[in-house]
A and B are shown apart, each in its own frame.
Chain A
Amino acid sequence: MAIVIRQLRGSGNNQTISDKRIDRPQVTIGRGADQDILVNDPRVAWEHAEVRAGGLGGHNIEVLREAGPVLLNGAPSRGSKLRDGDVVTLGGSEIVFRLFEGQAYLEVREAPRVKDAQAAQLRAQSKLSLEEVGVSRRRWSWILFVLLLLITLLLPLASRFLPVVSAQIRHAPLVPSDAVWLSGPMSAAHESFGRDCEACHLEAFEMTPDRACLACHATVAHHDDDVALLESSGIEDYRCADCHHEHDGDEGLVLAHPSLCVDCHALPGSKMPGSGLQPVSDFDGGHPQFSPTVWRLDPQGQREAVSLALQPGLREPSALIFPHDLHLDADGVEDRAGDAQLLDCQSCHEYQAGEVSFQAVDFEQHCQYCHSLEFEPSDPGREVPHGNTQAVLDDLRGYYARQVLQGTEQPPLTLPRGPRGRQRSVVLDEAERNTLLRKADGLARDKIDETIRVRLCAKCHTIGPAPQEGGADWDVEPFRQRAVWFEAARFDHGHHQTEGCESCHAASTSESADEVLLPGIDDCTGCHAGNASRRGRIRSLCIDCHGFHLAGEALMHGAARASSGGSAAVP
């Protein structure tokens, strides 16, 4: 396929045209004398480029290996398909490709002189600054902006507000849902439904309302039964979530910060007028003396619970005669066999794991080993039951009735002889039975009044007037001692096992069971500091000892406990 080289020289009227037909499918361009198109310019290589006719009538220009790029329509190029009218600039020449009626022409003419052409070429193949490289800050900014908006906002929004895709987004791995909005770890208690944000965040842009909490926690006790006082104190205006923080692990759920209590309790006079509460600001130096609840006898002799500030000599009428000092004697106490038994606190007060108080002291378990309830010297080993006076009475009656009937009672029972001097049959008439019963009752009553009352029960119990049915007119007074003295506080003996009992309870010098052997606040502050950690002492906050949801009857937000029990306060 031939290519015609058309050489244009001069311009205007002086322009000359000479054609040269090349009967090869390629035309060589360069500075060499053997080139089809000779471009005599030092910037051009001997063999610089070739124009080739392609198979389907197309033409291509290709720059040879070592040569520099040509300018194709002003842009550097090392090879390209040529179209009609394309201008190839090389050195000081321009070659225009023309296609006319199937014939390819290469018009060669002098290129317009470009000032600093060498510099322009160098400039074209150089990138002098980062701006010229094509890395666009603007483009990267947009990419990052859109990507982050998608990850942090759009997908999470869709997972919350587009029910169609909500489940897919939330359960697909690695797809950002509104879980990426979590500000911190869920509490263990709420983690199981933690992916359902709307379980607590009921409405968008609304703080978590109490009804979201009460949907599950409907039976939470109020902070006190005096709801009117709570309302006037302002605590009713708080939301649950103001104090119970989610997304802060387990610590946030029950905040320990003293300000939650002290904000009101430091100034009960103004915050809770009429409450009668004492101001509390800090356990160390800002806390009143402990006030245990003890029993007291009213003028009618009835017991009533009163809260009294702990003071030396505070007594609780326990109706028990138990000198701790005697039982804790360093030489031991004599048991019923006459042997010395060395006792300590744990001999009678057994610790209950997980409980505030100890197991109740039990006569059979803790006392009877030494303290026999034998009542009849002639019948050792026979003891009356403990704990119920009427039962003791009935037991004795039966015992002595049997004694009388068996004739073992001294003096021997003699019955009047019958007619003809013969011994009568064993069938007794009513008068005879009454005689026997009176005798047995008399024996039982004598034993209760004179022996048991003085020797057994009264050894440990005070005896008061209380007529027994068919028996004595006295009774053992009921035991009056609180199971829990500190009703508004918790104390775990298990956490204090490193301390000896005596460091809080002066039992070894106590002569009477009426003495209240409780420690005062000074016994605690030796080890426990207040809100701030003091060197060498333990930082102690309000809720280390005190609960919060203390009401017996009232539930949160006005409801009252339905059942009459109303016992367990939820701490």
Chain B
Amino acid sequence: MALHESFLSHAGGRWLKLGLLLILASIAAYAWHDPAAGPNGGTWLGYTLGTIGALLIVWLTLLGVRKRSYRSNLGTVKGWTSAHVWLGLALIVVGTLHTGWQFGLNIHTLAWLLMMLVIVSGIWGVVSYVRYPTQITANRGAIPAQEMLREVAELDRQLLLLAAELGRETHERTLASINRTRIGGGFWRQVLGVRQGQAPAEGLISRLREELNKPAFAGSAPQMGRGAGDGGDSGQTMMFMASAFVSAEQDAKQKETRRKLLDVLSRKKALVTQLNEDITRRARMSVWLYLHVPLTIGLLAALLAHILSVFLYW
């Protein structure tokens, strides 16, 4: 059974059932309750729901502490996560009924809004944890990222050795390509994924291969000068090498070396693309935390102000 299934249905769905019970009990009490001033946070039910909600928020926040304390025997992290998800979802109902549908431009509604944003980002998290692990496994197999990185480095080493045999310009191009190789990248590059223009272009490789097979082009393709390109990817290198290839009058051995170079380059490109996709999937799997965690801590501040101000100006 996969991880995501086990934390959602942990202990026979105990927390799911408890969350549902809380939701139903809250709705039933709200429907039955008929306060003189209309539903609001200050009725006995309002105080009750508010207390339950505040305690839940604090407790669910403590998951962040519990999952870091590996020595703790206070339930399993899986159990805590299951409770975190289901009771957190129940909080939508508990917290919203606590408001009595009274919203305004004030810190009380701000606290509710933050709570909802935290929950929505949490739902995003659950979806991420359900969706991405299988995709990651399907993409990468069982190979760890570090191993793939080592493989890319090995291909780089082979590229440099092959290129060194093909003269200075070919080597420089190859080296520049290797130096420009970026796995992953900044926050948005990781999350949004590497765009087509940023990756070694498949189209370019096939075009180069076509040119390789057409002797008519031999000697006609121009040499690319050093530093002529500024786009910066291995595709440029390949274009240069292809033109060098078709224009060359080198012997068969050199031609064979170039073929190998192109082949290794294609393998590297495929590997880098695969690795980047892996990084993007893993970034997407955890990017929600960059909202969920700061918003949760912000919510604690708003919650403190909400509770304190309500009783300060009782």
Docked-complex contact A116 and B302, CB < 8 angstroms: no
Chain A neighbourhood of B226, CB < 8 A: 66
Q: Does B20 contact A (CB under 8 A)?
A: no
The answer to whether the Cβ of A180 comes within 8 Å of any Cβ in the partner chain is yes
- 9 A-B residue pairs with CB within 8 Å: A42-B157, A43-B178, A45-B175, A126-B185, A141-B296, A141-B297, A152-B110, A180-B107, A183-B40
Please choose the segment from A9-17, A203-211, A274-282, A346-354 that sits at the chain B interface, where 4 or more of its residues have CB less than 8 A away: A203-211
Q: Does B71 contact A (CB under 8 A)?
A: no
Q: In the complex, given contacts A126-B182, A128-B184, A183-B40, what are 8 additional A-B residue pairs having Cβ atoms less than 8 angstroms apart?
A: A43-B175, A45-B175, A45-B176, A119-B152, A144-B298, A201-B313, A245-B37, A248-B38
Q: Could you tell me the distance between the alpha carbons of A122 and B187 in the complex, rounded to whole angstroms?
A: 18
- Given A119-B150, A123-B149, A126-B149, CB of A137 within 8 Å of CB of B293: yes
Alpha-carbon distance A81/B41, docked complex (angstroms): 64
Contact between chains at B187 and A118 (CB < 8 Å): no
Q: Is the CB of A178 within 8 A of B294?
A: no
CA A128 to CA B178, docked complex, whole Å: 17
Complex Cα distance, B34 from A259, in Å, reads 9
Contact across chains for A118 and B164 when beta carbons are under 8 A apart: no
The total number of A-B Cβ pairs within 8 Å is: 196
- Chain A contact residues (Cβ within 8 angstroms of B): what range? 35 or more
Residues of A within 8 A of B282 (CB): 129
Residue A100 is within 8 A (CB to CB) of chain B in the complex: no
Does B305 count as interface, using CB distance less than 8 angstroms?
Answer: yes
List residues of chain A with CB within 8 A of the CB of B35: 257
A:434-451 near B, CB below 8 Å: none
One of B153, B161, B305 near A149 (C-beta < 8 A): B305
Tell me if B182 and A130 are in contact (CB < 8 A).
Answer: no
The answer, yes or no, to whether A46 is at the interface (CB within 8 Å) is yes
Asked if A156 is at the interface (CB within 8 A of a chain B CB), the reply is yes
A183 to B175 Cα, complex, angstroms: 65
| CB pair A257 B36 closer than 8 Å | yes
| A140-B294, A141-B297, A260-B36 as given contacts; A116 in contact with B106, CB under 8 Å | no
Name the interface residues of B125-155: CB closer than 8 Å to any CB of A.
145, 149-150, 152-154
| Contact of A174 with B by CB under 8 A | no
Proximity bits, A143-168, B CB within 8 Å = 1, else 0 = 11111110111001000100000000
Instruction: Check if A128 sits within 8 Å of B149, measured CB to CB.
Output: yes
Between B102, B107, B227, the greatest number of chain A beta carbons within 10 A of the residue's beta carbon is seen for B107
Distance in angstroms from A17 CB to nearest chain B CB is 29
Residue pair A182, B106 in contact (C-beta under 8 Å): yes
Contact between A152 and B305, CB atoms less than 8 A apart: yes
Cβ–Cβ contact A206 & B314, under 8 A: yes
Complex: A143 Cα to B293 Cα, angstroms: 12
| Residue A197 at the chain B interface, CB threshold 8 Å | yes
Residues of A within 8 A of B153 (CB): 116, 118-119, 121-122
Smallest CB-CB separation from A152: which chain B residue?
A: B305
Given contacts A65-B227, A140-B290, A183-B108, contact A145 B298 (CB under 8 A): yes
Please provide the chain B residues from 257 to 313 with a CB less than 8 Å away from any CB of chain A in the complex: 279, 282-283, 286-287, 289-290, 293-298, 300-302, 304-306, 308-313
Which residues in B have their C-beta under 8 angstroms from that of A127?
Answer: 183-186, 190
Nearest-neighbor residue (CB-CB) of B297 within chain A:
A141
Whether the pair A178, B313 counts as a contact (CB closer than 8 A) is yes
CB pair A119–B37 under 8 Å, yes or no, is no
In the complex, what distance in Å separates the CA atom of A243 from the CA atom of B36? Answer: 8
Residues from chain B with a CB closer than 8 A to the CB of A183 are: 40-42, 102, 104, 106, 108, 310
A437 CA / B164 CA spacing, docked (Å): 157
Inter-chain CA distance A206–B312, complex, in Å, is 7
Q: Report A-chain residues with C-beta under 8 Å of the C-beta of B164.
A: 42
Indicate whether B250 reaches chain A with its CB closer than 8 angstroms: no
B214: CB under 8 A from chain A? no
Contacts of A182 in B (CB 8 A): 104, 106
- Tell me the bound Cα distance from A507 to B145 in angstroms: 98
A139 and chain B: residue at smallest CB distance: B294
Which of B283, B293, B298, B314 is in CB contact (< 8 Å) with A130?
B283
How far does the Cβ of A321 sit from chain B's closest Cβ, in whole Å?
Answer: 51
B260 to chain A, nearest CB (A): 15
Are A153 and B308 interface neighbours, CB within 8 A? yes
> CB < 8 Å: which of B107, B156, B160, B283 contacts A122?
B156
Chain B interface SS verdict (over half): helix
Partner of A68, one of B110, B154, B175, B310: B175
Residues of A within 8 A of B171 (CB): 31, 42, 45-46
**Contact partners of A66 in chain B: CB under 8 A:** 172, 175-176, 179, 226-227
Q: Mark B179-206, 1 if CB is under 8 A from A, else 0.
A: 1011111110011000000000000000
List A contacts of B300 (CB < 8 A).
145
Q: Is B293 a contact of A141 with CB atoms below 8 Å? A: yes
Q: Does B253 have its Cβ within 8 Å of any Cβ on chain A?
A: no
C-alpha spacing A260/B186, complex, angstroms: 63
Closest to B282 in A: A129
Does A67 belong to the interface (CB within 8 Å)? Answer: yes
Question: CA separation between A88 and B310, bound complex, in Å?
Answer: 63
Which residue of A45, A130, A160, A243 contacts B286 across the interface (Cβ within 8 Å)? A130
When distances are taken between beta carbons in the complex, the residues of chain B under 8 Å from A141 are 293-294, 296-298
CB of B60 within 8 A of chain A?
no
A145 surroundings in chain B (CB, below 8 A): 297-298, 300-301
When the two chains form their complex, are residues A142 and B168 in contact, meaning their CB atoms are under 8 A apart? no
Bound: A225/B157 CA distance, A: 102
CA distance A205 to B187 in the complex (A): 46
A135 within 8 A of B: yes
B16 within 8 A of A: no
Alpha-carbon distance A137/B290, docked complex (angstroms):
6
Q: Is the CB of A129 within 8 A of B37?
A: no
Is B45 among interface residues, defined by CB-CB distance under 8 A? Answer: no
Question: Residue among B42, B153, B287 with the most chain A CB within 10 A?
Answer: B153
User: What distance in Å separates the Cβ of A231 from its nearest Cβ neighbour in chain B?
Assistant: 22
Q: Tell me whether A218 is interfacial, beta carbon within 8 Å.
A: no
Complex CA gap A547/B314 in Å reads 28
* Cβ of B23 under 8 Å from chain A: no
- Residues B309 and A42 in contact, CB atoms below 8 Å apart: no
Distance between Cα atoms of A479 and B110 in the complex (Å): 67
A252 at the interface (CB under 8 A from B): yes
CA A144 to CA B110, docked complex, whole Å: 13
Q: Contact: B37 with A257, CB < 8 Å?
A: yes
| A42 x B172 contact (CB < 8 A) | no
Interface string of A65-78 (1 = CB under 8 A from B): 11111000000000
Contacts of A245 on B, CB cut-off 8 Å? 37
In whole angstroms, what is the CA distance A93 to B21 when docked? 69
Q: Is A255 an interface residue (CB 8 A)?
A: yes
* Complex contacts, A126 vs chain B, CB 8 Å: 149, 182-185
Determine the residue in chain A with the shortest Cβ distance to B151. A119
Interface flag for B115 (CB, 8 Å)? no
Q: Which of A237-259 contact B (CB under 8 A)?
A: 243, 245, 248, 251-252, 255, 257, 259
Q: Confirm or deny: A184 has a beta carbon within 8 angstroms of a beta carbon on chain B.
A: yes
Q: Which residues of B contact A184 (CB under 8 A)?
A: 102, 104, 106
Question: Any chain B CB within 8 A of the CB of A133?
Answer: yes
Looking across the interface, which residue of chain B has its beta carbon closest to that of A263?
Answer: B36
Identify the interface centre among B37, B149, B160: most chain A CB within 10 Å of its CB: B37
A44 to B171, CA, bound (A): 9
Kindly report which residue of chain A lies nearest to residue B173, judged by CB atoms: A66
- The answer to whether A125 has its CB under 8 Å from any CB of chain B is yes
Instruction: Kindly state the separation between the CA atoms of A271 and B265 in the bound complex, as whole angstroms.
Output: 93
